[in-house]
């Protein structure tokens, strides 16, 4: 493929993620209607381009001048978001075509997924006639933290939006997408782009990951898919993308029984999971078994680490956590690092007699920040160690929050991956959030952290 056509392909999708002007067709004066929620979220999200609400019966919506049709807008429109009832979709898309709008995002449901195949076929004909590209129908929308673009039709008081980061999420299910964005926003995850692509009638999952593969604001791509539209296309695209950056996938509809629910959900054929599993492996896709795993993995991949080796050193202030970490490391088939004699000697001089210098290094319950930092520095300098797994339980009174600042600082030198584990509620959550937002992955439980390390190592065949 020539360079120019590569760039063309990228440009085709760019307008969905970075439009300068948007028409919201079906914008409503009724605050409970999707058409108003979308407009409101675009405004509240701080979108800096032009917004054109379209509604034949209103003059103003949310203080913005309203148009009867896109044909009444004199300027160009980069993207039309369509939130009218399904039976009106064709007419408004026809108007878009006449206006010369090339990109439409169809939120409206009621097409193939409910058996309305003719309507979806007519929709496709219309797209071809006007050479338009479509995401949808039956989608939640697009979110781009960098362009302040938020077309999601769920209210902000119910769905917290994540801050800027480098994870992008391509999700066939709007429900999974919205629930996860909401939850992860609170856990300190940073997102770049999110897209729910529903029935994937025109722009499909392969187009989207190809775009994100070239997107500099995306360091890791997460996917939830039930089925793919074009197997060969997905295989080729995923393989190429996975060479550029980590691509992590959860596949829904893995059993014969559940395949049936996929059909009525997004109208896809779920296909045999065994077949998918094999294809994923050949493509270099990282496979996650659950939604939790998907984002546990994303957290570590987002940081862009490629470790020098597999040897893990555990540091903890809680003995039981040390035990559970080493259990998990051994069970995952990973090696526990062996401290060099030099490090042992050095730590013996510096740490109190109550500590245990081995693997785990147990700094015990009265550990403070200096005790942690001496140990971390020694382990970063020890050639016998590739990865540091640091448990910090902040419930103990002597461990101050400056440990977090010190770890963030040393982590900036990018000597070795430092993966943290911390469990707790309010006080602890604030510290975990700070770590996450500052490039240090922090997990709630030992098994989550070790599984993520394992996924990272496997990705690099280590």
Site for a copy of itself in 26-55 (CB under 8 A): 32, 37
Question: Which one, 56 or 397, has the nearer CB to a copy of itself?
Answer: 397
- Minimum Å distance from CB 69 to a copy of itself? 26
Beta strand ranges found along 94-230 (DSSP E): 103-106, 133-135, 141-144, 149-150, 163-171, 190-196, 220-225
Q: Which residues in 248-287 contact a copy of itself (CB under 8 A)?
A: 252-258, 260-262, 264-266
Beta strands in 64-219 (DSSP E): 64-65, 79-82, 103-106, 133-135, 141-144, 149-150, 163-171, 190-196
As a whole number of Å, the CA-based R_g of the chain is 25
Q: Which of 44, 122, 182, 405 binds a copy of itself (CB under 8 A)?
A: 182
One residue of 73, 90, 185, 462 binding a copy of itself per CB under 8 A: 185
Q: Which of 74, 75, 353, 461 binds a copy of itself (CB under 8 A)?
A: 353
Are the CB atoms for 299 and 322 separated by under 8 Å?
A: no
Residue 87 has a CB neighbour count (10 Å cut-off) of 11
> Helices in 77-116 by DSSP H: which ranges?
86-99
Place of tokens 């659950």: 290
Burial of 430 (0-12, 13-18, 19+ CB in 10 A): middle
Interface segment toward a copy of itself; rule CB under 8 A; list 214-222, 299-307, 369-377, 391-399: 391-399
Looking at the Cβ atoms of 127 and 152, the one nearer to a copy of itself is: 152
Q: Which two tokens stand for residue 122?
A: 């007519």
Contacting a copy of itself within 91-110 (CB under 8 A): 109-110
We find the least distance from the C-beta atom of residue 64 to a copy of itself, in angstroms, to be 20
CB of 422 to a copy of itself, least distance (A): 8
At 361, which helix (H) or strand (E)?
A: strand 361-362
180 binds a copy of itself (CB under 8 A): yes
Piece of the chain touching a copy of itself by CB under 8 A; list 2-10, 127-135, 143-151, 168-176: 168-176
Per DSSP, the chain holds a count of helices (H) and strands (E) of 16, 19
Site for a copy of itself in 213-242 (CB under 8 A): 224, 226
Minimal distance, residue 349 CB to a copy of itself, in Å: 18
Do the beta carbons of residue 47 and residue 22 sit within 8 Å?
Answer: yes
Least gap, CB of 26 to a copy of itself (angstroms): 15
User: Which CB, 159 or 222, lies closer to a copy of itself?
Assistant: 159
Q: How many residues bind a copy of itself (CB under 8 A)?
A: 84
Strand 163-171 to 220-225 pairing: parallel
Residues 318-347 binding a copy of itself (CB under 8 A) are: 318-324, 326-327, 329-331, 336
Instruction: Verify binding: residue 423, a copy of itself, rule CB under 8 A.
Output: yes
Rule CB under 8 A: say whether 141 interacts with a copy of itself: no
Strands, E, within 371-428: which ranges? 387-391, 418-421
Nearest distance from C-beta of residue 417 to a copy of itself, angstroms: 21
- The mark string for 297-316 relative to a copy of itself (x by CB under 8 A, - otherwise) is -------------------x
Hey, which bits of 99-177 come out as E strands?
103-106, 133-135, 141-144, 149-150, 163-171
Distance separating alpha carbons of residues 242 and 400, to the nearest angstrom:
41
Cis geometry, peptide bond prior to residue 416 (ω within 30 degrees of 0): no
Q: Least Å distance between CB 186 and a copy of itself?
A: 4
Backbone φ and ψ of 379, nearest 5°: -75, -35
Closest approach, Cβ 12 to a copy of itself, in A, equals 27
Q: With respect to a copy of itself, which residue has the nearer C-beta, 97 or 227? A: 227
Q: Is the dihedral of CA 276, 278, 281, 286 positive or negative?
A: positive
- Residue 394 CB, shortest distance to a copy of itself, in Å, is 6
- Of 94 and 256, the one with the shorter C-beta distance to a copy of itself is 256
Are 191 and 220 contacting, i.e. CB atoms less than 8 angstroms apart?
no
Stretch that binds a copy of itself, among 14-22, 276-284, 296-304, 394-402 (CB under 8 A): 394-402
Of 58-66, 75-83, 120-128, 246-254, the window that binds a copy of itself (rule: CB under 8 A) is 246-254
Sole binder of a copy of itself in the list 175, 306, 383, 402 (CB under 8 A): 175
User: What residue has token string 């979108």?
Assistant: 47
Among residues 93, 106, 223, 428, the one that binds a copy of itself under rule CB under 8 A: 428
In which order are the strands placed within the sheet that holds 103-106? 50-54, 21-25, 79-82, 103-106, 133-135
Q: Which of 20, 308, 340, 356 binds a copy of itself (CB under 8 A)?
A: 356
């Amino acid at each position: 493929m020539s360079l120019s056509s590569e760039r063309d392909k990228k440009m085709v999708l760019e307008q969905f993620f970075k439009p300068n002007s948007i028409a919201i067709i079906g914008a409503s004066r009724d605050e409970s209607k999707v058409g108003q929620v979308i407009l409101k979220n675009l405004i509240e999200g701080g979108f800096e381009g032009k917004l054109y609400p379209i509604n034949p019966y209103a003059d103003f919506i949310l203080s913005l001048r309203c148009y009867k049709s896109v044909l009444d807008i004199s300027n160009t429109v980069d993207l039309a978001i369509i939130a009218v009832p399904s039976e009106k979709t064709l007419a408004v898309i026809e108007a878009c075509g006449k206006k010369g709008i090339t990109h439409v995002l169809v939120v409206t449901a009621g097409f193939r997924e409910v058996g309305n195949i003719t309507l979806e076929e007519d929709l496709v004909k219309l797209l071809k006639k006007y050479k338009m590209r479509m995401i949808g129908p039956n989608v939640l929308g697009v979110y781009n933290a960098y362009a302040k673009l938020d077309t999601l039709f769920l209210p902000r008081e119910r769905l917290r939006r994540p801050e800027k980061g480098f994870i992008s999420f391509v999700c066939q299910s709007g429900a999974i997408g919205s629930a996860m964005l909401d939850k992860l926003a609170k856990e300190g995850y940073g997102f770049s782009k999110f897209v729910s692509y529903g029935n994937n009638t025109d722009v499909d999952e392969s187009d989207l990951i190809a775009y994100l593969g070239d997107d500099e604001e995306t360091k890791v791509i997460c996917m939830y898919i039930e089925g793919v539209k074009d197997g060969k296309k997905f295989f080729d695209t995923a393989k190429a993308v996975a060479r550029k950056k980590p691509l992590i996938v959860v596949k829904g509809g893995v059993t014969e029984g559940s395949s049936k629910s996929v059909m009525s959900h997004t109208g896809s054929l779920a296909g045999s999971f065994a077949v998918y599993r094999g294809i994923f492996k050949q493509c270099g896709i990282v496979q996650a078994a659950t939604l939790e795993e998907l984002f546990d993995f994303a957290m570590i991949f987002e940081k862009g680490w490629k470790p020098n080796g597999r040897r893990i050193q555990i540091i903890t202030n809680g003995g039981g956590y040390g035990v559970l970490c080493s259990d998990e490391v051994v069970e995952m088939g990973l090696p526990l690092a062996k401290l060099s004699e030099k490090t042992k000697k050095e730590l013996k001089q510096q740490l109190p007699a109550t500590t245990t210098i081995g693997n785990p290094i147990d700094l015990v319950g009265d550990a403070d920040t200096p005790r942690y930092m001496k140990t971390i520095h020694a382990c970063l300098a020890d050639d016998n160690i590739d990865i540091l797994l640091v448990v910090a339980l902040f419930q103990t009174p002597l461990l101050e929050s400056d440990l977090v600042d010190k770890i963030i600082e040393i982590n900036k030198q990018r000597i070795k991956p430092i993966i943290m584990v911390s469990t707790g509620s309010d006080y602890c959550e604030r510290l975990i959030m700070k770590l996450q937002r500052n490039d240090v992955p922090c997990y709630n439980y030992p098994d989550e952290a070790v599984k993520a390390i394992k996924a990272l190592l496997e990705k690099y065949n280590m």
